[in-house]
Amino acid sequence: MKKDVDTIIERALTNVQSDRGEAIYLLTELKMYLAGAKERYADSGAIAAKYVETLQRSNEQLVKLATLLQRREAKEGNVTLDEDDKQELLDIINEK
């Protein structure tokens, strides 16, 4: 069971890192586009908000993973997951 959980956590972390990298890249590109003319803000503000929202979600996912890992460590190696932990992991994976 521990190996399965570790694999899921590793996959979730990889997904979070990938999503963050893509969002940061796109946000940087959008900033350069917006710097070209102030008039562009009106049509691109919603897009910028979506990129920032993606970054916020990835932060939330990292906090969830950290909480799960902290719980596991607190149990001194007992890797038994309760239903809430399992649901949190599934939520993290399904958000991808």
User: What separation in angstroms does the CA of 29 have from each of 3, 25, 34, 59, 83?
Assistant: 39, 6, 9, 21, 41
CA 59 to chain centre: 5
- pLDDT-based confidence at 25, cuts 50/70/90? very high
Asked whether 47 and 30 are in contact (CB, 8 A), the reply is yes
Q: What do you get for the CA distance between the two ends of the chain, in Å?
A: 22
Secondary structure E strands in the chain: none
Q: Name the pTM for this structure.
A: 0.59
Sequence spans of domains, the chain = 2-94
Question: Is residue 79 predicted with pLDDT exceeding 80?
Answer: no
pLDDT at 14: 87
Specify the 3-state DSSP secondary structure of 10: helix
